[in-house]
Amino acid sequence: MVIHMHFTVLGAGAMGLRYGVLLQEAGNQVDFVDTWQANVDQIHRQGGVYVSRDHQNRHLVPVKVSTPEDYHDDPDVWVVFTKQMQLADFLTRTAHAFNGRQYVLTCMNGMGHVAKLLHYFKPEKLLAGTALVATVLNGPGDVDFIGARGAGTMNLANYTEHPDEMTHRIVTELDKCQFHPNLTTNFRGTLLAKVVFNSVVNTLCTLFEITMGEFAAYPGADELSRQLIDEAYDVCERDGVTMLNTRAEELASVNYVSKVANPLHYPSMYQDMSHNRPTEVDYINGYLVKLGQKYHYQAKTHAFLTHLVHLAETTRQTSATTEHTTEQNAQNATEQASQQASA
């Protein structure tokens, strides 16, 4: 078997595992680097990661994973899939393994990651994009690929907007994985298309704890989507971004992904919230709000939604803490009673 390329995936979560496992299956050398110790330990214990597709055919795939401190290899390409708020820590801890020869590809949600990556990688070696691919991490070392093989799509672009030979080699490998990569020469338009998409679907599904299909089935869904898309486009146009889709096409994309491609999927923001993890709403809806403010444009609906997600997060965390305290109190009372009984 010819080894095509050497990829190292930064962040062995749902999406990092999806990309890494499939790139490895396509014949590439793949390593994983992760900062979540429980995940690293579990993968070491199991001798790999358990992979299912749509909750079925769960099987062990051998993979190499280490913490940043233990990683000393030199890949051709870094594939970066962390949460926005974790990225700075990942980069600081892995910096010893970066060099000027390496390329970096990232398809993270939200905005804010590009500026951080440019501290470590050359602009002409940075590719960023968006993945319309649904994946769920069930727990440490256990991932579920949602959707039939080849169901997802991705867009990507060079930071310089000038694809080189290496870019085409990377695209070829992604194509073998059936990610259907669409290489564009519009960097910001490509990234913002997903921010706009997520600002509608992720946020609303999270607030109401529903799947994408349940959202799309609501008779007023188009009206909700249209209001958010219009506001987002007003912001992006003021910032001089050429969007990939028209507003109508963006609405059609929201509907297609929600009704046809991933109707049973709970978006990643919902997955974060349901596990009482902080969401990335500040890097999605919050990013659009901040960008609008630069041009004295108030993206009021996005600002309102950002607050609602934070309110939901706070409420959940408060109730989780209360439940824990109640459990502790009950346990303490039981222990006291049994001590008194045995006294």
Q: What is the CATH number of the domain that holds 136?
A: 3.40.50.720
C-alpha distances in angstroms, 329 versus 104, 184, 289, 318?
A: 50, 58, 43, 16
Residue 50 phi, psi dihedral angles, 5° rounding: -80, 125
Q: Which of 169, 185, 201 is at the close of a domain? A: 185
- The answer to the question of residue 178 being in a domain is yes
24 lies in which domain range?
Answer: 1-185
Give the count of alpha carbons within 13 A of 172, CB side only: 11
What is the structure's pLDDT at 32?
98
- The answer to the question of residue 216 being in a domain is yes
Does residue 69 sit in the same domain as residue 122? yes
255 burial level (CB within 10 Å; 0-12, 13-18, 19+)? middle
pLDDT at 333 over 60: yes
pLDDT tens for 23-44 read 999 999 999 999 999 999 999 9
Q: How many domains does the chain have?
A: 2
Does residue 190 sit in the same domain as residue 136? no
Q: Which helix (H) or strand (E) holds 334?
A: helix 300-342
- The answer to the question of residue 313 being in a domain is yes
CA separation for the pair 296, 90 (Å, rounded): 34
- The answer to the question of residue 25 being in a domain is yes
pLDDT at 1 over 60: no
- The answer to the question of residue 336 being in a domain is no
- The answer to the question of residue 337 being in a domain is no
Mean pLDDT throughout 178-199?
A: 95
Does residue 131 sit in the same domain as residue 67? yes
Does residue 193 sit in the same domain as residue 125? no
- DSSP letter at 47 equals T
pLDDT band of 265, cuts 50, 70, 90: confident
Does residue 175 sit in the same domain as residue 303? no
Least confidently predicted of 121-130, 257-266, 319-328: 319-328
Does residue 97 sit in the same domain as residue 190? no
pLDDT at 201 over 90: yes
Q: What is the pTM of this model?
A: 0.89
Higher-confidence residue: 321 or 233? 233
What is the residue whose two structure tokens read 């146009």? 237
Does residue 167 sit in the same domain as residue 200? no
Helices and strands in the chain: count of H runs, count of E runs: 12, 12
Q: Which of 131, 151, 185 is at the close of a domain? A: 185
User: 273-293 b/e with 16+ CB inside 10 Å = b?
Assistant: beeeeebbbbbbbbbbbbbbe
Q: Which of 150, 169, 185 is at the close of a domain? A: 185
Mean pLDDT throughout 45-58?
A: 96
pLDDT at 342 over 80: no
pLDDT at 71 over 90: yes
Q: What is the CATH number of the domain that holds 277?
A: 1.10.1040.10
**Beta strands 142-145 and 135-139, pairing class:** antiparallel
pLDDT at 334 over 80: no
- The answer to the question of residue 278 being in a domain is yes
Does residue 48 sit in the same domain as residue 169? yes
Does residue 45 sit in the same domain as residue 86? yes
What is the structure's pLDDT at 329?
73
pLDDT band of 332, cuts 50, 70, 90: confident
Does residue 174 sit in the same domain as residue 232? no
- DSSP letter at 86 equals G
Does residue 256 sit in the same domain as residue 210? yes
pLDDT at 110 over 90: yes
Does residue 191 sit in the same domain as residue 168? no
pLDDT tens for 202-245 read 999 999 999 999 999 999 999 999 999 999 999 999 999 999 89
